[in-house]
Structure 1
Amino acid sequence: MFLGLKILILGTLIRQTVGFLPSEENNNGRSEKTHSSITHDAIYRAAADVIAHVIDPAKHRLWTVDEILREYLGNGLGCLRQTVEEIKNENNVAQREYGDDASRTMLCDQIEAGHLLLHSLRDSIINQSQKANPNWDIVRDLIGQYLFTLQEFYSNTNWVEMFGSRVCQELGISGNPLPFKVPTDMQVFNLVNLSMLYSNFSSLCIRSM
């Protein structure tokens, strides 16, 4: 039961995870959403969504997240809570280790690289979960990395400005191209050069006045 639930939850997390601020350990007492709080909420909502819409829709569809999880998991709810905490910890580790990696944070127009990275992480999570004797420590580590990069997409790109609250369903899914054109390295290079040229020209004009 739990193996199938975990795999279904992974797919549902794509719809539940949205943009955010840095992780809880760095929020300096702010009350805004963080890496940690969004990961926490997304996993619980994803688990409840799978139960209510896939496993037992007739019974659970109108229940709250807490009601669904308590009734369906029973004593297993403690295991879910522990798993969520471990994934949150791995999410924080990913932020510390990969915060300067543009392909992990989608910065510097590395959206396509991040997209392909999410392909690889997602496939690794599913493959490891389906083994006869899965290493759940590895799975939790990979999910933490996956959620870090997934969340960075909404934080560091202009997706929200372009598409509002729409979820990028294609992100991280093998065989699904992104629904927008990603700038090539040469386009980015030309844009940077144009910006530098404009800046230098503006400075020259000011000095000449």
Structure 2
Amino acid sequence: MKRHAPATARNREPIAAVLSEVLPTEGLVLEVASGSGEHCAYFAKRFPALAWQPSDPDPDALASIAEWTEGQENVGRPLMLDAAGAWPGILADAILCINMVHISPWAATLGLLDGAAALLPPGAPLILYGPYRQHGVETAPSNEQFELWLKDKSPEYGLRHVEDVTREASARQFTLERIEPMPANNLILVYRHDA
């Protein structure tokens, strides 16, 4: 059954504007935690020269992704992928992860970084989107409220510090290339694989 995430219609074009500057011109983009599948369907149309591989750990999400992307020749069949678990042995030229880091255990973020380090060639981008905290930058009241809601769902969820993600990324030979402010107090973090 097709799922719908209302925020997708609001954020997909600002995200696409950044993607147009950081994605390779050809190759495969692995989307981790594709959720409803709406972003993948949109970006696959927006960037038709790229192959798109959606993934998610939730079987219901995989069914929704399949419906949203049906008939799109540059989109692969959705993969079952738990970021904190074992990763498939595929080659990717970029990895995109939207709105996962804050609404999953920290182990999922570490798994994402491990998987990206194993799959991405030198110079390839790892692109993260979502709400983050930054040292020395006041967190928006709406994000503070959002974090309370997240913590109520699970004490393992919550807004992560850019600096903590970057420290772990650096340990896996990624360099933070860009922090791009986005609508609704979100950020895009663009890392490049050094190795």
Tell me if TM exceeds 0.5: no
TM-score, normalising length from structure 2?
A: 0.25
- Higher CA-based Rg: 1
Instruction: Give the helix-richer structure, 1 or 2.
Output: 1
- Which of the pair has the greater relative contact order for Cα pairs under 8 Å at 6+ separation? 1
